[in-house]
Amino acid sequence: MRFLRLLLLTCAAGVLSPVVRAEVKLHPMFSDHMVLQQKTETTVWGTATPNADVSVGLMQTGGDKAVDVLLKAGADGKWVAKLPPQKAGTGYTLTAQSGGTTVTLKDVAVGEVWLCSGQSNMEWMVKQLNKDGQAKKVADAATNKNIRLFTVPNRPSAKPEADFPVSKTEGLWLECNPENVMNFSAVGYFFGRDIQNDLKVPVGLIASDWGGTSCQSWTSREALTANSDLKYYVEQFDTAMKGYDPAKADESYKAAMEKWKAAADKAKADGKQAPTAPRKQSNPGSGPTTTTLFNGMIAPITHYAIKGAIWYQGESNAGRAAEYYTLFPAMITDWRKQWGYDFPFFAVQLAPYKGATNGPAGGLDYAELRDAQVHATKTLKHVGIAIITDAGDENDIHPQKKEPAGDRLALAARAVAYGEKVEYQGPTYKSMTADGGKVKVAFDHAAGLSAKGDSLNGFAVCGEDKKFYPAKATIEGENVIVTSESVAKPVAVRYGWVNFAKPELNLFNKAGLPAVPFRSDNFPLTTATTKK
């Protein structure tokens, strides 16, 4: 009788207790409308019940058998599946199954995936193109099911994150249409539009960008620490973190607020303006500072296969342009290490802008930062640059002309990443020879040199005193002859070596691409004296 009572209680407990089922989840990078990188192994990852069996499949509608990978989740519930390379196309379905649950992603495409990153000029959305109704014109022509858009949420973190939050517009893949493109990077869209039109395969664009941010915020802690010239960033960050105590910050803020309220009430009673309210000390790791954007916006996606990256950043580092010669290549190398391969990387050179107008770098901080960007193309393989000397605004750090940047990034990608025989670069300094009062400047990418205007602008020469004077420049074949009445024996020549050139720089080649600003000298940079 006692046994029967125990059996009945056990059965009742079984009826009342919920059935434990294996649950499978995919990382937020995987959603409907996603694009997987073609011709490379695809990594798919997520979580499930610890030690549960997991099946991951990929199948194209009307295609052959599904790719089906069987594996087991770890003791922590994490799992990683490796799918064999797939051909470009649409109509794929991705499934992840474990126990009684299945996640099915539809309208999956295979093609080319590009990361679009940087600060505000990359973040600048199509809807912000407010000149002459450009935003609406671009959006109205943007419907393309072969372009998919993904925006990584702005999320700083003091430590590398595994994922990120998802909303209706961020953290998931969206089809490219007039509504969705309005909230996407304009430069990223123009680049993707041109790549898709050229290659005729699906293109996935991942926007991971944040206005007003620095290059060091996008670089990993390990990379900064490993460089003797950059590790001070981490040291300063660690010092700030050690000095932050959440409890003390709350207590201090509470006391300050009480004191402020009393002062505000008295000021009101006396008919005076209230003092400024105190601010609570914030967690240094919760803002876009050293390495925090790498942690929150790059680290979560480094397992997702990409073809390459495009980059538009540097304004926030212009005051330390001399350091950017080291920092920028370090970041590129870091990202490549994180992904595990040397993917192509293309940057937009900073647009003409007044920049700093006083101080030791007055008028030259942007010029020096631009040269640091070009330096990366000379020291690293498969790195290119889009020159936009004809698309700036002296008084607006966010020029409205974003299409030239996207178009020229796409040209660089077509040539360097895809091996097409297209001209992708404007005239690029090769060498100079001085003969008396004349300097002959030779260029690469020089076929069809031309001046857009009556005469060439932007050249300057100096003698042994290192003082530069505006110079007259004329085109002779694939060379430019430079002279100045103020310099009898030139020793160096520069082109476009100012923040904002007046009149506009106008040396182009027959492909209609502007010349790369340059200097033939190696004189000390004005930003080299900037304190850390």
Question: What does the domain layout of the chain look like in residue ranges?
Answer: 245-282, 428-515
The burial class, CB within 10 Å (0-12 / 13-18 / 19+), for 108 is: buried
Question: Do residues 290 and 224 touch, judged by C-beta distance below 8 A?
Answer: yes
Distance CA 384, CA 408 (A): 10
Candidates 348, 491, 374, 367; CA nearest to 444 is 374
Q: What is the pLDDT of residue 358?
A: 61
Alpha helices in 200-245 (DSSP H): 221-226, 231-242
CA distance 167 to 152: 10
Residue 2 — φ and ψ, nearest 5°?
Answer: -60, -40
Quote the Cα angle for 223-226-227, to 5°: 95
- State residue 17's pLDDT score: 36
Residue 400 pLDDT? 96
Structural element, H or E, at residue 330? helix 321-339
Residue 356 pLDDT: 74
pLDDT value at position 418? Answer: 98
Distances (CA, A) of 95 to 68, 103, 330: 9, 6, 38
Spatial contact of 46 and 71, defined as CB atoms under 8 Å apart: no
Q: What pLDDT does 286 receive?
A: 83
Return the pLDDT at 124.
Answer: 98
Sequence-distant (6+) residues with CB within 8 A of 521 are 462, 466, 491, 492, 494
Q: Which amino acid is at 12?
A: A
Q: Give the single-character DSSP code of 426.
A: -
- CA dist 456 and 166 (Å) reads 51
Q: Which residue numbers in the chain have pLDDT < 50?
A: 1-20
